[in-house]
Amino acid sequence: MEFSGFFWAAVFWMAGWGVIGSIALKRRYLHRDLDTSNTSMVGAFTGAAAGPFALIPLWIKTPRLTTRYIVLPVIATVVVFGLFFAKGDPGNICVTNGTFVASQFVNGLVIGIIYGFMALGLTLIFSILGIVSFAHGEFYMIGGMITYFITSVWLPGINPMIGVLGACVATFTLGAIFERMFLTPMYEGKIDRPVEYGILVTFGLAFTLQYFVQATAGANPVKAQRFLSFPRMGLPSSEDPWLMKTSRGSMELFESVTISSPRLTAALTCIFVLLALLYLLHRTWTGKALRAVSLDREAAAIAGINPDRMNMLAFALGGMIAALAGSLLVQAFSWLPQVGAIPAMRSFVIVVLGGLGSLPGAFFGGIIVGLVEAAGTGCVPDPQKAASYIPAYGMIVLTLTLLLRPTGLLGRKYASATHGQN
């Protein structure tokens, strides 16, 4: 299955008009002295979706670029790309098999929720401490490892809930201790370049943790038992289960979409914890204090909040969130000490896409990246290549974000990449 020349020509056409659109529109708006903050993105997507046909009216009329002008071209671009893809490779499974597409979509959504949840931890740390934790992937890895050891090695047969809780407690403690020991000098102005220090010291932590786990747990892949087995059943009846059919490890909806039990339990738990987290952030004093510190450190301190304590809490909580994601996924994937690298990269992509420091942004970003990866792995003809390129899909999203909308989808307050000193 080779892609036809038609497909590559179409991609070239879209990319070319995208570049032209983003540059031309920005110049036009600048020249007309209008708000240029969205022009690159709108121009790029309008150009990619409809080429000159939509760019020229936009160029002439220069309307105020409201959300409508952003969302519509993005959707149109995806649709147009899909059409070109279908035309270019009519035999592709993503074109011929609707069931497969639905299944990929649902699974992308499910895994995207988990990605978004993990990225939430990273963005929480960033919004309070102003640093990007390079140890996020290692927290994820350790969460999975601890859960595996508790449920399968030390106390086999125990309720997996205990394993998950154990991982949370351990990583929370680890995060708090690390923050006290290594990050405190940042706030006292003892470090010349706090942002770089934060990157390097968490990088050191990542390195240490990864090899510590390898030294103690070995380098062989492990996998935990699935936490939950579905009861065998069929809906509406077990004779004709067109609505839903379950086996022990997975469930099938509408005789087309298959979701495995580990993924479903992980995603549901993530949503549940996310709601709990939102409650914590918006309804409790501690959560309000956290948000206050993220908005204005000094003002929060004047209001009687101890920002140092909030730093510790944020770092520990952020690490714990990653660990929780790991401990939920250790039942779905096989686990190695190096397993954290790709999820860490993915979390970086998601937080930049969503807007560094924006919690809802991280969640939506996660879903987008989940869908993009599902499309990428499902539809690229050569499955082996498709799997190898997984990190690359995210990076393409990252590069586009940095070029077109450095503030991310929902990032406003937290400045942009270009002013990202804090």
Partner 1 sequence: MSRQHIPTAAGAVFLLILGLFPFVYNGGDYDYVMHIIIIAFFYAILASSWSMLAGYAGQFSFGHMGFMGIGSYTTALLLHYIHFAPEPTSICTEFAIGGTYMIFVNPIGVTSTSLAQDCLRQAMDVWDGSVPVSDVPVWLGIVLGTIMGGVAGLLVGLLVLRLRAAYLALFTLGFAEILKATISAEIQITRGQAGLETPALFENGITLFGRVYSRTDKLPPYFVFFFLMLACLAVLWWLSRSKFGLFVRALREDQEAAAALGVNTTRYKVLVFVVTTSMAALAGAVQAHYVGIVTPNALFLLQMSLVVAMAVIGGVENFVAAAIGAILIQFVLELLRNSFTIGSVTIDMTIWRLVIFGIILMLTLRFTRNGLIAPIIEYFHRGHVAAETVAKRAAATDKDGVQG
Partner 2 sequence: MINLKVTNLKKSFGGLEVLKGINFEINGPELIGLIGPNGAGKTTLTNILDGAIKPNSGTVYLNGERIDQYKPYQVALAGLGRTFQVTRSFRRMSVLENLYVPALAVGEEQNRAVVHEKAMEVLEFLTIDHLRNDYAQALSGGQQKLLELGRLLMLDPDVIILDEPFAGVHPKLMEVIYEYIRRVNDEGKAIVIISHQMDAIFNLAKRLLVLNYGDMIADGPPADVKNDPAVIEAYLGVDEEDEDELAGADQS
Q: Which residues pair with 222 in a beta bridge?
A: 335
Applying CB under 8 A, does 298 fall inside the site for partner 2?
A: no
Binding partner selected for residue 34 from partner 1, partner 2, none, CB under the kind-specific 5 to 8 Å limit: partner 2
> Which one, 34 or 280, has the nearer CB to partner 2?
34
Minimum CB–partner distance for residue 27 and partner 2 (Å):
12
Distance between CA atoms of 187 and 176, rounded to whole angstroms? Answer: 15
Minimum CB–partner distance for residue 160 and partner 2 (Å):
52
Binding partner selected for residue 299 from partner 2, partner 1, none, CB under the kind-specific 5 to 8 Å limit: none
Binding partner selected for residue 33 from partner 1, partner 2, none, CB under the kind-specific 5 to 8 Å limit: partner 2
> Which one, 34 or 109, has the nearer CB to partner 2?
34
Per CB under 8 A, which of residues 19..78 are in contact with partner 2? 33-35
The separation between CA 390 and the C-alpha centre of its own chain, rounded to angstroms, equals 13
Binding partner selected for residue 35 from partner 1, partner 2, none, CB under the kind-specific 5 to 8 Å limit: partner 2
Q: 233 phi and psi, to 5 degrees?
A: -165, 170
Task: Output the CA torsion sign for 346, 350, 353, 356.
Answer: negative
Binding partner selected for residue 199 from partner 1, partner 2, none, CB under the kind-specific 5 to 8 Å limit: partner 1
> Which one, 103 or 171, has the nearer CB to partner 1?
171
> Which one, 185 or 221, has the nearer CB to partner 2?
185
Minimum CB–partner distance for residue 143 and partner 1 (Å):
19
Neighbours of 156 (CB within 10 A): 9
Cβ(43)–Cβ(25) below 8 Å = yes
Binding-site member from 2, 60, 67, 192 for partner 2 (CB under 8 A): 192
Binding partner selected for residue 205 from partner 2, partner 1, none, CB under the kind-specific 5 to 8 Å limit: partner 1
Binding partner selected for residue 392 from partner 2, partner 1, none, CB under the kind-specific 5 to 8 Å limit: partner 1
Greatest alpha-carbon span in the chain? 71
Q: Which residue has the tokens 């909030």?
A: 310
> Which one, 2 or 192, has the nearer CB to partner 2?
192
Minimum CB–partner distance for residue 395 and partner 1 (Å):
4
Minimum CB–partner distance for residue 421 and partner 2 (Å):
13
Minimum CB–partner distance for residue 35 and partner 1 (Å):
19
Binding partner selected for residue 2 from partner 1, partner 2, none, CB under the kind-specific 5 to 8 Å limit: none
Minimum CB–partner distance for residue 35 and partner 2 (Å):
4
Q: Which residues pair with 245 in a beta bridge?
A: 234, 252
> Which one, 35 or 255, has the nearer CB to partner 2?
35
Applying CB under 8 A, the residues found at the interface with partner 1 are 126, 131-132, 134, 181-182, 185, 192-193, 195-197, 199-201, 203-209, 211-212, 214-215, 341, 345, 348-349, 352, 356, 384-385, 388-392, 394-395, 398-399, 402-403, 406, 417-421
Tokens describing residue 82:
């899909």
Minimum CB–partner distance for residue 364 and partner 1 (Å):
19
Binding partner selected for residue 112 from partner 1, partner 2, none, CB under the kind-specific 5 to 8 Å limit: none
Minimum CB–partner distance for residue 65 and partner 2 (Å):
11
Would you tell me which residues interact with partner 2 (CB under 8 A)?
A: 33-35, 192
